[in-house]
């Protein structure tokens, strides 16, 4: 059983593999399609029906209690570019194994289910190719419309609908109704490793505000346009990158995170003063008040940057992911089942966004972490030890068992 999980994980990790032990399976690409097919095959072999909904989410369902809602277990198979093999994919495979464990227990007569269990791969959690991130899970909970999902386009102009059709991932099935959701994920930080803890129990998520900014300048010749005539969009954008970093120092240490993660220069020629730069910026804090203070500060400073660099700074889109507590009784239950397994736990917030953050707005949700070596993530060096992977599958299986037996049908 245990070797079984590691072998399955090795097979899944070979799909879209890149040098250094990582994977590249951005949402809706051929590699994402192959990973989804591999998981669908695993689910069918283990007796689950495979469903695809209209926004690219993939489900494995097996009705133990006809008509009852489902305890959903899952995460995401898509990855960032040149990413690690654990982020998301570990959670989907752990969910599949935990669901099989539940079904085996029901069939073996050691578990009486009150609700069903289902496995899910949420489409496009990462948001690298198509924005926004948490796309499939947000559509499931109704915070993003299906039309907006299908119409979102990547940098090459391909829509989600086209990308999903190309990998045969667009379905018509009604997604299974959830009674509860549980997800296990790598921590992507160093808290668990530093404390010598086996399992992190997420109590709340950090608030995040994301911005898409366009700096408008005027395109010109780098050799022939005199300095006083320039409206250099890249100069303005570069100042925004520095501004995002400097704003952090106006808040207490460790309380605010900011980053410019994407930066597109037009026309990006060595002899052209850039006419336009598009950039993505995010601001995060556990304290929603600090995110709002930073927001006000940034908007004010954007105009100052614009004036100083003789360009126009336009915020074309901004969105807020609120901070929210996870269901306290599920945190308690997760703690109890981890203790039964003899594991050390630690209650903590999640700094990163996860599909569980979206599901937490709809149903009681548990989010569990396993340790990440050195806290490295979104990079091929991402690593979680085999023993930690197996402990996580064990805890998720125990939690799933309890949820399937305890969650009353609506």
Interface contacts to Zn ion, rule CB under 5 A: 87-88
Residue 290 C-beta: closest distance to Zn ion, Å: 24
In the complex with Zn ion, which residue's Cβ is closer, 32 or 87?
87
CB 304 within 8 A of CB 160: no
Residues in the chain, total: 410
Q: Given the complex with Zn ion, which of 97 and 185 has the nearer CB atom?
A: 185
Residue 87 CB, nearest approach to Zn ion (Å): 4
Nearer to Zn ion, 231 or 321 (CB): 321
Nearer Cβ to Zn ion (89/333)? 89
In the bound complex, what is the minimum distance in angstroms from residue 81's beta carbon to Zn ion?
14
Nearer to Zn ion, 56 or 88 (CB): 88
In angstroms, what CA-CA distances link 231 with 227, 260, 270, 301, 370? 9, 21, 16, 18, 49
Q: Quick check: helix, strand or coil at residue 289? A: helix
CB of 227 to Zn ion, least distance (A): 45
DSSP 70: E
Residue identified by tokens 């921590």 is 187
CB of 188 to Zn ion, least distance (A): 8
Q: Can you spell out the DSSP letters for 293-332?
A: HHHHHHHHHHHHHHHHHT-EEEEEEEEEE---B--HHHHH
Residue with nearest beta carbon to Zn ion? 88
Q: How far is the CB of 181 from Zn ion (least distance, A)?
A: 15
DSSP 196: T
The closest alpha carbon to 347, from 332, 362, 363, belongs to 332
Instruction: Provide the CA 239 distance to its chain's centre, in angstroms.
Output: 29
Between 341 and 352, CB nearer to Zn ion: 352
């Amino acid at each position: 059983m245990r070797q079984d999980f590691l072998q399955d994980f090795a097979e899944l990790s070979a799909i879209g593999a890149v040098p250094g032990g990582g994977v590249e399976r951005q949402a809706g690409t051929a590699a994402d399609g192959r990973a989804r097919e591999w998981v669908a095959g695993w689910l069918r072999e283990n007796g689950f029906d495979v469903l695809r909904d209209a926004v690219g989410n993939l489900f494995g369902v097996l009705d133990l209690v006809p008509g009852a809602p489902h305890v959903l277990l899952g995460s995401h198979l898509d990855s960032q570019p040149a990413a690690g093999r654990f982020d998301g994919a570990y959670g989907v495979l752990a969910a599949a194994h935990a669901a099989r464990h539940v079904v085996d227990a029901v069939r073996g007569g050691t578990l009486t289910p009150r609700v069903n269990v289902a496995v899910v791969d949420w489409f496009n959690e990462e948001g690298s190719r198509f924005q926004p991130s948490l796309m499939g899970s947000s559509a499931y909970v109704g915070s993003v419309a299906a039309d907006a999902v299908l119409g979102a386009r990547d940098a090459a102009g391909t829509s989600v609908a086209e990308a999903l059709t190309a990998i045969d991932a667009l379905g018509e099935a009604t997604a299974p109704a959830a009674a509860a959701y549980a997800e296990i994920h790598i921590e992507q930080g160093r808290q668990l490793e530093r404390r010598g803890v086996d399992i992190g129990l997420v109590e709340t998520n950090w608030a995040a505000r994301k911005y898409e900014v366009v700096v408008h300048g005027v395109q010109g010749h780098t050799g022939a346009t005199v300095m006083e005539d320039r409206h250099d969009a890249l100069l303005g954008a570069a100042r925004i990158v520095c501004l995002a970093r400097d704003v952090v120092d106006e808040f207490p240490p460790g309380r605010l995170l900011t980053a410019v993660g994407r930066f597109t220069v037009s026309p990006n020629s060595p002899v052209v003063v850039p006419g336009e730069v598009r950039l993505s910026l995010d601001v995060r804090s556990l304290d929603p008040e600090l995110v709002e203070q930073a927001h006000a500060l940034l908007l004010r400073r954007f105009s100052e940057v614009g004036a100083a660099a003789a360009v126009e700074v336009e915020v074309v889109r901004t969105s807020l992911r609120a901070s929210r507590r996870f269901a306290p009784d599920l945190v308690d239950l997760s703690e109890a089942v981890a203790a039964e397994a003899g594991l050390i736990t630690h209650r903590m917030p999640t700094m990163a966004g996860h599909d569980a953050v979206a599901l937490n707005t709809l149903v009681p949700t548990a989010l569990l972490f396993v340790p990440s070596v050195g806290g490295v993530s979104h990079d091929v060096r991402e690593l979680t030890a085999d023993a930690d992977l197996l402990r996580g599958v064990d805890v998720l299986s125990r939690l799933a068992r309890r949820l399937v037996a305890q969650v009353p049908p609506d």
